[in-house]
């Protein structure tokens, strides 16, 4: 797989929460962190996503905002 995004995170699918149109897919990354993405149910099917399978979170953003509590 080759993509132009600089942030590609490999993980294991730990949870798929299907909805009517979209699904929340949670990946567990190498360090134990979890990341969740909302994708279409069609994408879940096309990518053959299943719990326990390897998948990649590919992040492409021109801006990432940070905040702190005061």
Long-range CB pairs of 26-31 (<8 Å, 24+ gap) are 27/55, 27/57, 29/57
Q: CB neighbours (10 Å) of residue 18?
A: 11
Q: Are 29 and 52 in contact (CB under 8 A)?
A: no
Q: Which of 64, 57, 58, 61 is nearest to 28 (CA)?
A: 57
Q: What is the pLDDT of residues 22-57, one digit of tens each?
A: 999 999 999 999 999 999 999 999 999 999 999 999
The pLDDT, as a whole number, for residue 33 is 96
Predicted TM-score (pTM) of the model is 0.83
Does the domain formed by 7-59 have CATH 2.40.50.100? yes
Domain ranges of the chain: 7-59
Q: Alpha-carbon distance 60 to 52, whole Å?
A: 25
């Amino acid at each position: 797989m080759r993509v132009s995004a600089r942030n590609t995170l490999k993980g294991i699918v730990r949870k798929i929460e299907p909805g009517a149109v979209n699904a929340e897919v949670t990946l567990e990354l190498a360090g134990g962190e979890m990341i969740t993405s909302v994708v279409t149910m069609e994408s879940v099917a096309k990518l053959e996503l299943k719990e326990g399978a390897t998948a990649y979170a590919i992040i492409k953003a021109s801006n990432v905002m940070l905040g702190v509590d005061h």
